[in-house]
Amino acid sequence: MKNNSCSRKGGKMMEDFQAIHKLPHGDSPYVRAKYAQLVDKDPDAAIVLFWKAINAGDRVDSALKDMAVVMKQQDRAEEAIEAIKSFRGRCSRQAQESLDNVLIDLYKKCGQLDEQIQLLKQKLQMIYQGEAFNGKPTKTARSHGKKFQVTIKQETTRILGNLGWAYMQQMKYAAAEIVYRKAQEIDPDANKACNLCLCLIKQVKYKEARYVLDGVLQGKLSGSDDPKSVGRAGELLQELGRFEPGKYASPSPSPPTGVSLEDAFVEGLDQLMNQWAPFRSRRLPIFEEISPQRDQLAC
């Protein structure tokens, strides 16, 4: 009886243990890989077991994604990129979008900006064509163990924000300005406003930069009270303060030279904006400015 009691207690403890660590049940290579990752904290062993799971066809979608994440944490991002490219063909259609998100993070980690930009634009194209979220209006995401719903509109502005940041890393500030302005039209927030302000400063558009920054300083935007945004806004204000008012009075916005977006990008974004805000004109002003020049911004 004592042994049976101990066995029941042991089984209950194991169930509780699995629940706490969100471990799947069983003894397959994938389950053992998750145990090595989350419990033993042995990333090298986890990677080996994830490889075995992929080769054995054991929860390939999750195994490939989880292995890439662990590799990134181990500064093996380039290996993770090659693994995803090599094995994503074994994954389901539903897993492809998640794998793209992992790839974007890996490209960012490796500094492969051209690849990151290309993939971000592909994801935008999927949204325009109604192929994102497997055709559904929302998707379930997870952060810090909690699930929440993400809308197409939120996903669009998130991707545009990442695209703008990538252009900034390439010092393509005019391109970044275009993207950030569009993101702000869809879902304005303080973080993107600060990035847009920096883009304008880099282009010597100080008057416009101050106007954008005022939205953060006056608390008009979502996230204006976030300590990071407050700190960045203060730094940008100091940078603008280095210029005398008379020196940074700029004329009305002019079309960025040598910068445009593709027709599909422009028209697709217009269509989305018309769905979300029907009162807007069919052709958005910012794209009217850049539409005559469509042969550059190719990444």
Q: In terms of Cα–Cα distance, which of 43, 112, 56 is closest to 82?
A: 112
Q: Mean pLDDT across the stretch 109-115?
A: 95
* Helix, coil or strand: residue 189: strand
Q: What is the mean pLDDT of residues 133-149?
A: 76
How far apart are alpha carbons 100 and 159 in whole angstroms?
A: 12
What pTM does this model have?
0.75
pLDDT of residue 285: 37
- Let me know: does 271 contact 264? Beta carbons within 8 Å: no
Q: Is the pLDDT of residue 119 over 50?
A: yes
pLDDT tens, 54-107? 999 999 999 999 999 999 999 999 999 999 999 999 999 989 999 999 999 999
Q: What tens digit of pLDDT does each residue of 16-63 get?
A: 555 555 677 788 999 999 999 999 999 999 999 999 999 999 999 999
Distance CA 96, CA 131 (A): 12
Name residues whose C-beta falls within 8 Å of residue 59's C-beta, 6 or more positions apart in sequence: 24, 28, 30, 53
The pLDDT of residue 149 is: 86
Q: How confident is the model at residue 139 (pLDDT cuts 50, 70, 90)?
A: confident
Mean pLDDT of the chain: 81
pLDDT at 163 over 60: yes
Q: What is the pLDDT of residue 265?
A: 59
CA dist., res. 241 & res. 127, Å (int) = 40
Closest CA to 118 of 159, 84, 155: 159
Q: Do 107 and 121 form a contact (C-beta atoms < 8 A)?
A: no
The CA-based diameter of the chain, rounded to the nearest angstrom, is 90
Task: Give the tens place of pLDDT for each residue, 212-270.
Answer: 999 999 999 999 999 999 999 999 999 998 875 555 444 444 444 445 555 555 566 66
Q: Which pLDDT score, from 0 to 100, does residue 159 have? A: 94
**pLDDT score recorded for residue 129:** 82
What integer pLDDT is reported at residue 227 of this predicted model?
Answer: 94
